[in-house]
Amino acid sequence: MMQEENYNREPQEEIFSKRVRAGKRTYFFDVKATRNSDYYITITESKRSKYDDGTFVKMKIHLYKEDFNKFSDGLSETIGHVKSHLLPEYNFDEYDKPEEEQG
């Protein structure tokens, strides 16, 4: 018998969180645990609403352990392609400065 998903349940326990501020966007990488002590990652992009009303728009994906390697490999390959083939002369390191040093 299939068990029906309960989408109104309490959020699962958060184990680890990493916030990455990137210009007008902030990314959150959160490790969470299920009730069965299994782990997954949520990746959230947060940015100010285009309506300048003080609200934020959030987009979220869930990444499950069986997909970690494929996701990581695909992301690395895609970033590598852009850096080496599409924008080889671009200085990606300029964005690695601490926020207070950026204009």
Residue 60 CA, chain-centre distance (Å), reads 7
Q: pLDDT digits over 48-81, tens only?
A: 888 878 899 999 999 999 999 999 999 999 999 9
Number of domains in the chain: 1
Residue range(s) defining the domain that contains residue 86: 14-101
Within a domain: residue 65? yes
CATH number at residue 28: 3.10.450.700
- The sheet with strand 39-48 has its strands ordered as 14-22, 25-33, 39-48, 56-64
Within a domain: residue 5? no
The pLDDT of residue 42 is 96
User: Can you tell me the mean pLDDT for 45-49?
Assistant: 91
pLDDT at residue 96 greater than cutoff 50: yes
pLDDT at residue 5 greater than cutoff 70: no
Within a domain: residue 42? yes
pLDDT at residue 12 greater than cutoff 90: no
Within a domain: residue 2? no
Higher pLDDT, 10 or 82: 82
Within a domain: residue 6? no
